[in-house]
Amino acid sequence: MAKISGKIAVVTGASSGIGRATAEALARVGFAVFGTSRRPNGDAPVGVTMLACDVTDDESVKTLVSTVLSKTARIDLLVNNAGIGLIGGAEESSIEQIKALFDVNLLGVMRATNAVLPSMRERRAGLIINMGSVLGIVPAPYSAYYSATKHALEGYSESLDHETRAFNVRVSVIEPAFTRSVFDQNALEPDQKLEPYEKSRADARALMSDVMPTADLPEVVADVVVAAATAKHPKRRYTAGKLARQISILRRFAPAGTFDKNLRRQMRLPA
């Protein structure tokens, strides 16, 4: 691949997992990359300048973007990657907890996007890549709110893309399936647990821990982000990895009843 030079990328949540691999992969192909973490002083990804940012904090996001723009005068690519999970029955979370999850996974994306858009519109160039999930196109029992954040992200991203293409700014969503990271360990527990969901919640967590060791490496997703970031005409959606492609095809083409049965079997739920 030809080296990209002079292009500036910002990757949120670059301290670990998919964001870290993505920031490093973009740096390898020649982007100048600014990665973020709420605590940026740890072990930085290779070739990446780390800055502090909490995507739930308006001022923190504004400061991040103005800091990068003061150094570079442009941002060509924003990768909205920061995100967290929540594993539990839908009835087991308070409204406060649901709001907090949406604050990171959805409003965080909107804050960062709205902070970079003025400079992208002005330059009539830019790409925003949002880290979705296959759980944004299929249901996720015992991760209903996580799935809801990623479904909302799909609707937001595609709508936004229609608006911003007038300014030559495009929006893509990446849809990975299970990816090896500490995502499962970082996934929140519900804050108002109920005994009838105890076993199913534990099974859902166990399923995730079981698949993580053999799940796709974050580099698989990072390569897809690089492909989107360097495409002449980026697509609106990219699945990342074999399992994600299979799920996406099943969702589109399998009869609803077959899909439903298959999902319950995969999620280890009774028929």
Ligand X SMILES: NC(=O)c1ccc[n+]([C@@H]2O[C@H](COP(=O)([O-])OP(=O)(O)OC[C@H]3O[C@@H](n4cnc5c(N)ncnc54)[C@H](OP(=O)(O)O)[C@@H]3O)[C@@H](O)[C@H]2O)c1
User: Which residues are catalytic, by number?
Assistant: 146
Query: Crossing angle, helix 108-123 and helix 58-72, to 10 degrees?
Result: 30
Of 119 and 179, CB closest to ligand X: 179
- Taking CB under 6 A as the criterion, the residue among 76, 183, 190, 222 binding ligand X is 183
Hey, what are 255's tokens? 């009869």
Residue selected from 51, 53, 86, 112 as contacting ligand X according to rule CB under 6 A: 53
Touching ligand X, residues 188-227 (CB under 6 A): none
How many residues interact with ligand X (rule CB under 6 A)? Answer: 29
What would the x/- binding string for ligand X be over residues 78 to 117, using CB under 6 A? ---xxxx-------------------x-------------
- Residues linked to residue 50 through DSSP beta bridges, in sequence order: 35
Cα–Cα distance between 31 and 48 in angstroms, integer? Answer: 9
Cα distances from 271 to residues 232, 246, 250, 262, 263, in angstroms, run 46, 21, 19, 9, 10
- Helices marked H in the chain: 17-28, 58-72, 95-102, 108-123, 144-164, 183-186, 198-211, 218-230, 242-253, 256-266
Among 30, 56, 237, 250, binds ligand X (CB under 6 A): 56
CB 13 within 8 A of CB 37: yes
Which one of residues 7, 9, 10, 19 is an interface residue with ligand X (CB under 6 A)?
19
Q: Does 16 bind ligand X (CB under 6 A)?
A: yes
- Of the pair 6, 155, the CB lying nearest ligand X is at 155
Residue numbers at the binding site for ligand X (CB under 6 A): 12-19, 37-39, 53-56, 81-84, 104, 131, 133, 176, 178-179, 181-183, 186
